[in-house]
């Protein structure tokens, strides 16, 4: 049995996405894969539940979550879940017990770091893993900077003797939020078509006074959430004529006018109503996006495409 220990020094670096992609690729090769999450700072996530679904695991979700400071329990659990499996993927945070866990599991360590302007500033944090460190995945690199960062990483990280497993471009679609998550983030209420709450919102547009017609303006982006003031039914109706995942109405307790609600019902587009101002709604959306998680199976095809193009799967698998 092989243990792959996927770690990062900060939350939201993209560990779960990497774990899901690796797990799916291993399964496609006929390997039997297990998963374990070592809960760190963010104990309220659904990563274990998502991975259970992605990898079709038989264990209950709670048994897939363990505290990261109980190395003996982690080793005993791994021994149990590894029965009949070829690979166990362990997801965790870089911390005081990380080196000890890697040694106890005889694990191959994969470091995942979100690009923050420098390609190698985090390398010293992983020296304690020694030869167990399989390599580094530099994640969420702006597409426009991808070639430069690849060259920079090759020189700076390569000079330390650490393998570069991949430099992955940023793709907001991988961390898009659902209609339901959007409603929660802005303290909003879904007024209709609640069955669409699991749909992914890929773009956001703010309804405002523009030179172009509303149709031309909102037609520029698809699969979007259109954020419009409650008192602008003209803009609301225009947004509903285009590819819109949901319509967000801000700044009032009043329900939308009948024509807007009727058109939304007919087109199957949920309306989210919130008393928060449009400015506050935008701030809340930005905050939600910054904390976006890879937690939807609908994102897997895009993830698979990115990993095949930019990750050295042969070195990992």
* % of the chain surpassing 90 pLDDT: 64
Q: How far apart are the first and last CA of the chain?
A: 13
- pLDDT reading at 42 higher than 70: no
DSSP letter for 197, please. T
Claim to verify: residue 165 and residue 182 sit in the same structural domain? no
Claim to verify: residue 124 and residue 204 sit in the same structural domain? no
DSSP letter for each residue of 147-188: HHHHHHHHHHTGGGT--EEEEEEP-GGGG-EEHHHHHHHTT-
Beta strand 203-206 with 200-201 is unpaired
CATH code, 237: 3.40.1390.20
How confident is the model at residue 107, as a pLDDT? 96
Count CB-CB contacts under 10 A for residue 114.
20
Instruction: Supply φ then ψ for residue 46, to 5 degrees.
Output: -115, 25
How confident is the model at residue 117, as a pLDDT? 86
CATH code, 43: 3.40.50.300
CA distance 182 to 199: 10
What counts of helices (H) and strands (E) characterise the chain? 12, 14
Tokens matching residue 174: 């991988």
Claim to verify: residue 139 and residue 218 sit in the same structural domain? no
Claim to verify: residue 62 and residue 159 sit in the same structural domain? yes
**Confidence at 214, pLDDT banded by 50, 70, 90:** confident
Claim to verify: residue 181 and residue 163 sit in the same structural domain? no
- For residues 317 and 29, the answer to whether their CB atoms sit within 8 Å is yes
Claim to verify: residue 186 and residue 309 sit in the same structural domain? no
DSSP letter for 198, please. T
C-alpha gyration radius of the chain: 22
Claim to verify: residue 165 and residue 234 sit in the same structural domain? no
How confident is the model at residue 240, as a pLDDT? 95
Claim to verify: residue 304 and residue 286 sit in the same structural domain? no
Claim to verify: residue 185 and residue 159 sit in the same structural domain? no
293 closest CA partner among 204, 167, 185: 185
- pLDDT reading at 173 higher than 80: no
Mind listing the pLDDT tens digit for each residue in 216-230? 899 999 999 999 999
Helix %, strand %, coil % of the chain (to 5):
45, 25, 35
Tokens 């499996």 correspond to what residue? 85
Q: What's the rounded mean pLDDT across residues 255-261?
A: 91
Q: Looking at the 3D structure of the chain, how many domains does it have?
A: 2
- For residues 259 and 240, the answer to whether their CB atoms sit within 8 Å is no
Claim to verify: residue 165 and residue 239 sit in the same structural domain? no
Claim to verify: residue 17 and residue 32 sit in the same structural domain? yes
Claim to verify: residue 27 and residue 81 sit in the same structural domain? yes
- For residues 20 and 307, the answer to whether their CB atoms sit within 8 Å is no
How confident is the model at residue 297, as a pLDDT? 76
Q: List the domain range (segments joined by +) for residue 211.
A: 177-290
- pLDDT reading at 43 higher than 70: no
Q: Assign residue 238 a region (left: φ > 0; alpha: ψ between -120 and 50; beta: otherwise).
A: alpha
Tokens matching residue 93: 């945070």
């Amino acid at each position: 049995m092989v243990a792959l220990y996927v770690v990062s020094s900060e939350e939201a670096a993209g560990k779960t996405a990497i774990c899901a992609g690796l797990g799916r690729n291993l399964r496609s090769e006929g390997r039997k894969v297990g998963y374990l999450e070592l809960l760190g700072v963010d104990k309220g996530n659904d990563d274990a539940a998502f991975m259970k679904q992605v990898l079709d695991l038989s264990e209950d979700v709670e048994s897939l979550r363990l505290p990261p400071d109980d190395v003996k329990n982690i080793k005993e659990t791994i021994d149990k879940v590894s029965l009949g499996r070829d690979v166990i993927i362990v997801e965790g945070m870089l911390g005081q017990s990380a080196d000890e866990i890697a040694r106890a599991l005889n694990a191959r360590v994969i470091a995942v770091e979100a690009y923050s302007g420098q390609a190698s500033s985090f390398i010293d944090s992983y020296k304690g893993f020694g030869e167990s460190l399989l390599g580094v995945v530099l994640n969420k690199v702006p597409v426009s900077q991808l070639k430069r960062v690849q060259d920079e990483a090759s020189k700076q990280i390569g000079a330390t003797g650490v393998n570069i497993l991949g430099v992955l471009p940023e793709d907001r679609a991988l961390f898009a939020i659902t209609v339901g998550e959007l409603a929660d983030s802005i303290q909003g209420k879904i007024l209709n078509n609640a069955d669409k709450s699991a749909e992914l919102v890929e773009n956001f547009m703010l309804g405002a006074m523009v030179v172009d017609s509303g149709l031309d303006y909102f037609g520029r982006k698809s699969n979007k959430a259109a954020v419009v003031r409650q008192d602008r039914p003209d803009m609301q109706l225009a947004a509903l004529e285009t590819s819109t995942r949901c319509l967000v109405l801000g700044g009032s307790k009043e329900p939308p006018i009948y024509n807007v609600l009727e058109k939304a019902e007919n087109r199957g587009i949920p309306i989210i109503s919130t008393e928060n101002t449009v400015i506050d709604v935008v701030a809340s959306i930005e905050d939600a996006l910054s904390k976006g998680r890879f937690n939807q199976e609908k994102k897997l095809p895009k993830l698979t495409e990115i990993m095949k193009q930019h990750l050295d799967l042969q070195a990992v698998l």
